Amino acid sequence: MTLTAPGGLLAATALHLGFQAVVTAVVYPALAEVPPDRWGTAHAAHSRRITAVVAPVYGLLGAACLRVVVAGPRTGLAAVAVTGSAAAAVSTALVAAPTHRRLALQGANPLLLARLRRSDGVRLAGAALAAGAALGAVVLEARGGRRTG
């Protein structure tokens, strides 16, 4: 069985949404509860561990988005899925990653933690939008590209 471009996009966006939901609901709240005297060690361990998960998740997501952009289908739903994924990636690259670097240097600064949580909200919203749109693209594909209703 061959995975279609929309099917691959759905798989990658669902994986990303699951990952992002765990970061939002479990990882960042736990990190925020670390006492100041243990912050440096805990944050360094978090950074090492999360990188091993972030890299493959974003790699698969990027590959699935690229496949849809290059090979199609070029539907509105696919475009929304790619856009939501891009929003999450941009928030990661331009806000979350630099904020983590500053947190490593400055410690558990409440303003930086708040910035990280806002960025995380953007990433979760982008991931949810992308997964929902990718699911819609798969449903549309299963119907032969026809809209009903």
57 belongs to a structural domain = yes
| pLDDT tens digit sequence for 117-127 | 999 999 999 99
Global confidence as pTM: 0.90
124 belongs to a structural domain = yes
| Domain, as residue range, for 135 | 5-142
Number of domains in the chain: 1
Return the pLDDT at 25: 96
148 belongs to a structural domain = no
Q: How far is CA 83 from CA 43, 68, 80, in A?
A: 30, 12, 5
Q: Is the pLDDT of residue 149 over 50?
A: no
What is the rounded distance in angstroms from the CA atom of residue 82 to the CA atom of residue 89?
10
149 belongs to a structural domain = no
The helix, strand and coil proportions of the chain, stated in percent and rounded to the nearest 5, come to 85, 0, 15
Please name which of 141, 15, 14 lies closest in space to residue 76, comparing C-alpha atoms. 141
| pLDDT tens digit sequence for 76-101 | 999 999 999 999 999 999 999 999 99
26 belongs to a structural domain = yes
147 belongs to a structural domain = no
79 belongs to a structural domain = yes
Q: What is the mean pLDDT of residues 42-59?
A: 93
112 belongs to a structural domain = yes
